């Protein structure tokens, strides 16, 4: 387990000021905090190599950050050709341990964009421990978040690795119209309190079917929390419900409440249609990110679609690890991969070897917890290639900087910018751009 391979340091840091949606917090000036874990390899070389990687990771919706520890163990095991300085993972402000820290301040809205900004502030806060190169790794919702962090600061990451990221055009299945019920339907109506931790694990065995035993154990520890909580303050009432008042066991609930889990998956659009006229009128103060073409649907999730359209501008190289049996739309994901990095400001995309797809046949969306090694294998191979390239580019840059002045501009400026008294076309010299 990770505690054998890594020294684990816990931090609490404030999130970004002003959330994407006013309804994310009880009061708009509330300060939300992130619970962060920093994993530092115990077998790290001394001194730490200058090119050792700092990994910034982002989890899936309501999936505890600790579930990914077997992934870090396997990545460390395969770290030949590159070194790991540390791995940093923060729970989203409304989820997991962060959600526990913030439970008195959270309200009924959630934007994925907030966590991208929160991670950027976290990186800036710990910048002295995060020299380049930085690598982003994100799963599911976290893949979308890491991508948006790369949009926020295009040169921040040397490369990013997206594991079945939620970046697509179609909304998730939610039982609207002819759609079959999906994860949001299940989440809203699921049980969320049990007489004991053991009972909770047993009740959720179907969800964890096929998981690596290490991940099951971590889910049992971090996916549930003991009562009392703000949602379930009366322990004795819950015990009476289950008839366990004489037992020594303590009831548990979900660490991420099912309500915050639901809000992380999908967003409400209940007020766009005028109840009197029936006309769609987008409330832009709260729902400016709502696509007018889909405004008739009462639920939506803006980030997968908006991120899809921005993919051509993605600067860092990008590995897509895709589940062959994922519930996501594979055709749309592959279209996203084809677009990735191909535009102005982008990496160059597939044609320049800066984007790659690896599909793992038979694996679903939760593959990081099912087949740990199968997911890590392409990630480790990609990091070896990217770190070789990073070292080469760094050497070339250092060589090119030799002898250059840091005080005055180079001679080429004088060759390109003519003197102000040089003959120009009619109208004389043009004005300053600024």
List the catalytic residues: 140, 164, 365
State CA 80 to chain mean position distance.
26
Query: Residue 137 forms beta bridges with which residues?
Result: 57, 161
Strands of the sheet containing 53-58, edge to edge, are 6-14, 33-41, 84-90, 53-58, 134-139, 159-163, 317-323, 355-360
Q: Among residues 313, 324, 264, which one has the least CA distance to residue 142?
A: 264
Round to whole Å and give the CA distance between 400 and 411: 15
Q: Among residues 419, 343, 357, 352, which one has the least CA distance to residue 161?
A: 357
Token pair for 32: 């939300």
Pairing between β-strand 134-139 and β-strand 159-163 as defined by DSSP bridges: parallel
Helices 302-310 and 141-152 cross at an angle (nearest 10°) of 50
Token pair for 295: 């405004």
Count CB atoms within 10 A of the CB of residue 418. 11
Q: By the 8 A CB rule, do 280 and 124 touch? A: no
Buried (b) or exposed (e) across 96-130, using 16+ Cβ within 10 A? bbbbbbbeebbbebbbbbbbbbbbbbbbeebeeeb
């Amino acid at each position: 387990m990770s505690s054998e391979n890594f020294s684990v340091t816990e931090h609490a840091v404030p999130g970004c000021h002003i959330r994407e949606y006013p309804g994310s917090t009880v009061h708009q000036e509330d300060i939300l905090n992130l619970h962060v874990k920093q994993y530092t390899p115990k077998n790290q070389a001394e001194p730490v190599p200058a090119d050792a990687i700092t990994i910034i990771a982002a989890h899936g919706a309501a999936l505890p950050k600790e579930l990914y520890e077997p992934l870090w163990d396997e990545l460390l095991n395969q770290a030949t050709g590159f070194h790991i300085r540390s791995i940093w993972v923060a729970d989203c402000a409304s989820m997991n341990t962060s959600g526990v820290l913030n439970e008195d301040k959270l309200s009924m809205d959630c934007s994925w964009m907030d966590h991208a900004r929160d991670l950027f502030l976290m990186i800036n806060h710990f910048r002295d421990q995060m020299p380049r190169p930085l690598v982003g790794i994100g799963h599911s919702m976290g893949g979308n978040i890491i991508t948006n962090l790369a949009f926020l600061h295009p040169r921040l990451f040397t490369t990013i690795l997206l594991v079945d990221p939620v970046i697509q055009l179609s909304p998730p299945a939610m039982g609207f119209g002819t759609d079959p019920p999906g994860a949001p339907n299940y989440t809203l109506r699921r049980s969320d309190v049990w007489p004991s931790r053991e009972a909770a694990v047993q009740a959720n065995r179907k969800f964890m079917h096929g998981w690596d035993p290490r991940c099951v154990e971590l889910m049992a520890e971090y996916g549930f929390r003991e009562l009392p909580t703000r949602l379930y303050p009366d322990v004795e009432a819950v015990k009476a419900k289950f008839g366990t008042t004489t037992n020594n066991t303590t009831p548990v609930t979900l660490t991420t409440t099912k309500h915050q889990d639901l809000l992380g998956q999908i967003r409400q659009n209940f007020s766009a249609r005028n109840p009197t006229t029936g006309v769609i009128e987008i409330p832009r103060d709260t729902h400016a990110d709502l696509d007018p073409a889909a405004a008739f649907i009462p639920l939506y999730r803006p980030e997968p679609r908006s991120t899809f359209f921005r993919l051509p501008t993605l600067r860092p190289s990008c590995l897509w690890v895709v589940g062959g049996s994922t519930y996501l739309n594979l055709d749309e994901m592959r279209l996203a991969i084809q677009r990735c990095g191909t535009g102005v400001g982008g990496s160059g995309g597939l044609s320049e070897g800066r984007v790659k797809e690896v599909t793992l046949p038979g694996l679903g969306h939760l593959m990081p917890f099912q087949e740990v090694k199968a997911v890590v294998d392409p990630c480790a191979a990609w990091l070896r290639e990217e770190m070789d390239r990073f070292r080469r580019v760094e050497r070339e840059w250092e060589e090119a900087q030799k002898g250059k002045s840091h005080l005055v501009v180079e001679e080429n400026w004088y060759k390109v910018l003519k003197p102000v008294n040089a003959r120009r076309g009619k109208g004389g010299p043009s004005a300053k751009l600024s």
